[in-house]
Amino acid sequence: MIAKTFFVALLLAGLSRAREVPNIVLIMADDLGVECLGAYGGSTYATPRLDALAETGQKYLHCHSTPKCSPSRVTLLTGRYTFRTTRKWGFIPRNETSFGQILKRAGYATALAGKWQLGRIVDDPGIVQHFGFDTHCVWGWHEGPRYWNPLIWQDGAIRKDVAKRYGPDLYTEFLIDFIESNRKGPFLAYYPMCLTHFPKSPEPPGPNGKKESFKEMVEHMDREVGRLVDALDRLKLRERTLILFTADNGSPTNVTSTRNGEKIKGGKAKLTDAGTHVPLIANWPGTVSPGEPDTLVDFSDFLPTLTELGKGDSPRDRVMDGRSFAGSLLGNPGPSRDWIFTEWEGRSWVRDRNWKLYGDGQLFDLRNDPREHRALSPYSDDADRARMRAWLGSKMAMLEVTPGK
């Protein structure tokens, strides 16, 4: 009788926890600037599913990544800037702590599907599980295709059933199966997409004899997001699930898109807005109210946000750079960031909403020069410029001298 009562108490506690923390679906597109989405004023591509999520949720105006995919992925996972973690491409140190580990310890079922590229799985088959993901289905590195007839690692082994299949369809199907299997929650489904990165050799063409264009990939990406939303609707999980959508960096430089009537050339690998300004859409019916927060967010902020929402424990043995934006999501913003930062390959900037200071001393007034055509003179006697240069410079100096572990 005592044993039965104890079991019932544990079951009720588990059900109570599943109700009090959200399921989380975090989607990160590959090579997608804000200009690509209709919700942000884009008109070149049809993105109805993401536009609908933005209309009924929150569309953040100031989310910035690093200018390339690998450092963005490390910063997103760890909540730490890459000068503290790694300057090596395609690598995450095993002694870092990810949001996968934090949420797994907090009682979440966890899965990762899509693009890994943070260590060769063939050399370390357990690396994805090490970072807290119970199960995974990923394109790991450039050993093979990510799209048609893809080379996919699933739970440390190569899948043999991918002939004449399209990788993004398989990644999405995997996550839908995971969500269905864990619908009692809580669960974390992390989807770092392969789309919309241009196919590289040895990518074979699709069944129509060609590879998808950038436009086709953007619209295919939108449909994959829609499949996940439809699955959540079918399983009656939408009101228990937070969907976050972002991208790892700006669009490719050989792509030009139209936003609010202006032609925008992609800026991948550049530290300008074209290279780092990415979408951030949050949707959680009944909890996240529609709006356009002007909260400053950089990629170090995702880990503390997920940790707070999932009631996990943040690492206490190292410097954590991120600041949670959970309050903004829930309508209780409280104190917010005054500045954000990005850095890669020895180049960096720190900025607020109106001013941007590069590590080499260049200062830009983003209100009057959003495309950064003209740096302001360091010898200007304008008091406002001098004050902002000194203030942003102090933030840059603070980051560079703070000891990390």
Q: CA-CA distance, 224 to 170, in Å (whole number)?
A: 10
DSSP state of 376: B
Q: CA-CA distance, 354 to 366, in Å (whole number)?
A: 5
198-233 burial: b if 16+ Cβ within 10 Å, else e: ebeeebeebeeeebbebeebbbbbbbbbbbbbebbe
Q: Is 146 helix (H, G, I), strand (E, B) or coil?
A: coil
Q: Is 397 helix (H, G, I), strand (E, B) or coil?
A: helix
Q: Greatest CA span in the chain, whole angstroms?
A: 81
Q: Is 140 helix (H, G, I), strand (E, B) or coil?
A: coil
DSSP state of 211: P
Q: What is the pLDDT of residue 402?
A: 59
Q: What is the pLDDT of residue 18?
A: 44
- First CA to last CA distance, the chain: 50
Q: What is the pLDDT of residue 12?
A: 38
176, 171, 256: which is closest to 220 by C-alpha?
Answer: 171
Q: What is the pLDDT of residue 14?
A: 42
Which stretches of 248-362 are assigned E, i.e. beta strand? Answer: 256-259, 262-265, 281-283, 296-298, 340-344, 347-351, 355-358
Q: Which residues contact 137 (CB under 8 A, 6 or more apart)?
A: 111, 112, 113, 152, 153, 154, 155, 159, 170, 171, 174, 175
Q: What is the pLDDT of residue 208?
A: 83
Domain ranges of the chain: 21-339, 347-401
Report how many helices (DSSP H) and strands (DSSP E) the chain contains, helices first.
12, 17
Q: Which token pair is 369?
A: 């020069």
As assigned by CATH, the class of the 21-339 domain is alpha beta
**What Å distances lie between residue 49 and 12, 128, 158, 216, 245, CA to CA?**
36, 29, 32, 15, 11
Encode the chain (405 residues) as per-residue pLDDT tens digits.
Answer: 455 544 444 333 444 444 589 999 999 999 999 999 999 999 999 999 999 999 999 999 999 999 999 999 999 999 999 999 988 899 999 999 999 999 999 999 999 999 999 999 999 999 999 999 999 999 998 889 999 999 999 999 999 999 999 999 999 999 999 999 999 999 999 999 999 999 986 788 887 888 999 999 999 999 999 999 999 999 999 999 999 999 999 999 999 999 999 999 999 999 999 999 999 999 999 999 999 999 999 999 999 999 999 999 999 999 999 999 999 999 987 777 899 999 998 899 999 999 999 999 999 999 999 999 999 977 777 888 888 999 999 998 988 755 444
Q: Is 216 helix (H, G, I), strand (E, B) or coil?
A: helix
